[in-house]
Structure 1
Amino acid sequence: MSNVIAVISDYGLKDHYVGTVHGVIYQNNPEAKVIDITHFVRPFDVVDGALKLKWSYKYYPIGTVFLCLVDPNPKDELIIVTTEKYFVVCPNNGIGSLMFEEEPAGSVYRITAEHYFISGLGNFRGRNQLAPIAAELARLQSPIYLGEEVEIGKLKRFRLPDPQRLGENMYETLVLDVDYFGNLILNFRYQGSLPKEVEINGVKITNSSETFRGERKGELFVSVNPENYLQVVAYMGNASKLLNATRGTKVKISF
């Protein structure tokens, strides 16, 4: 039993929101180990939250409860999803979609154990409803006392668009994410060889390197991010600003 709760939210760290989520967890499960994956998901952005979950879950011990608090639609049902190794507590808004492509969902439970909820303290489902459920789930390691199982087909999902083949060894894809350093993470998995050319907003980048050695400050090159996706980097600079590129910007790749 891991008793680990890993939290993803769009709450930021300026306000008291994250701290009170922690407090509720510890009130219900003092022995829990709470880990913050990130609280800087773009506000209300389920796709961004799904990416952060996809790129994080595999590094956690079996039995970890992933508490996902990106909640743009208060009408979405609150659920627990089980996989072979993990649990996800979240609104039913698709935030687990990319994780479940690799770690398939086994069952879905609609949360019904409202006696764990905090009432009378405003409309804050992440703290008042999901946090205490995650705390109990981490301790119990089973959702059967916390919800009612529903058809797995009720689980909302989405898929990212696949890269499009333009010709022999040529593809069009998009910027999947922009990290804190301004690196452009492309929706294209590294398959053992780096491209000859990447074109973004009319700028052609022909330099590539699997490491960051020997690059000049501000030089653009193609590399591989820690999760094995191609990325465009400006060494000691910000590729996103230099290329005026954000998530969703189209990219051409040639091998």
Structure 2
Amino acid sequence: MENLIAVMSDYGLKDTYVGTLKATLYMNNPEARVVDITHYIRPFDLVDAAIKLKWSYKYFPSGTVFLIAVDPDPSAELLIISTEKYYIVTPNNGIPSLMLEEEPADSVYVITADHYFIEGKGNFRGRNQLAPIAAQLAKFQSPFYLGDSKDLSIIKRFRIPSPKEIAPGKFECIVIDVDGFGNLILNMESTGQLPSKVTINGVEITNASENFENYQKGEFFVSINPEGHYQIISYMASAARLLKATRGTKVTVEF
């Protein structure tokens, strides 16, 4: 589907940053359709952005341009990455890594079409540089005139840790995300069965269910998040707060 731009940033909604970035998209491409993936990536957090991009891209139609406005390193080159179905406009900081494991890159271009950039004070590359390029790309569906083609090896990548089997049916995992409800999402995708026991910060959890029925407020159980990862939930409460857990907290999962 042409002319669709999906935007992710760490700007939040308190300031004018999201509004002026989107205004720049429409100024350069009035017919564009713009979807906000999230603007609440943790500030400067490449891993958080990579996880959210991986969990969201597959729901968008072919031809979507993903605009990644998370840019902690102002020296990072600005790229257009093409896959079989999508385009990604991003600083070269590794955020597309997890998406590209599933949706491999076909080509990459270093953005050179600075005549599309807009003048602006300060370091606001998301609005002043990435947004005009994303708008042009969504309109014409071709990166050829927007940058110089490079070898795919220039794309910076990183991985998140995988679960480690420490005994038969027993895995050492970590929390990779804490969602807005305080649910703790693990780095282990569903194997088709629910765990018999999960241990985190000395607390053993033996309840597990794919739905939220028949639990009392504050009761812990293990479930599966919408993207297929095991998650620790406290019903109608924050598991993160009650268990004093954050991203990176170790979790033992047993089957």
Match for 1:145: what amino acid? Y
Match for 1:175: what amino acid? V
Matched, 1:54 2:54: yes
Give the drift of 1:215: 1.0
Aligned counterpart, 2:225: 225
Determine the C-alpha separation between the residues in 1 that align with 2:44 and 2:120.
Answer: 24
Aligned counterpart, 2:210: 210
Give the drift of 1:162: 1.1
Match for 1:99: what amino acid? M
Give the drift of 1:122: 2.8
Q: Deviations over 1:105-130 (max 9, x none)?
A: 11110000000001243321000000
Determine the C-alpha separation between the residues in 2 that align with 1:106 and 1:228.
Answer: 27
> What SS does structure 1 have at the residue aligned with 2:247?
coil
What is the TM-score with the length of structure 1 in the denominator? 0.99
CA contact (8 A) 2:182 2:240 kept: yes
Aligned counterpart, 1:243: 243
Give the drift of 1:2: 2.2
Aligned counterpart, 2:73: 73
Determine the C-alpha separation between the residues in 2 that align with 1:43 and 1:205.
Answer: 32
Aligned counterpart, 1:113: 113
Aligned counterpart, 1:200: 200
Q: Deviations over 1:77-123 (max 9, x none)?
A: 00000000000000000000000011111111000000000124332
Determine the C-alpha separation between the residues in 2 that align with 1:38 and 1:6.
Answer: 9
Runs (5+) with no aligned partner, structure 1: none
Determine the C-alpha separation between the residues in 1 that align with 2:25 and 2:121.
Answer: 16
Match for 2:125: what amino acid? R
> What SS does structure 2 have at the residue aligned with 1:134?
helix
Give the drift of 1:183: 0.2
Determine the C-alpha separation between the residues in 1 that align with 2:175 and 2:161.
Answer: 11
Aligned counterpart, 2:85: 85
What is the TM-score with the length of structure 2 in the denominator? 0.99
Aligned counterpart, 1:134: 134
Determine the C-alpha separation between the residues in 2 that align with 1:60 and 1:253.
Answer: 32
Root-mean-square deviation over aligned CA pairs:
0.7
Aligned counterpart, 2:102: 102
The percent identity for this pair of structures is 63
Give the drift of 1:216: 1.0
Determine the C-alpha separation between the residues in 2 that align with 1:92 and 1:100.
Answer: 13
Runs (5+) with no aligned partner, structure 2: none
CA contact (8 A) 2:8 2:70 kept: yes
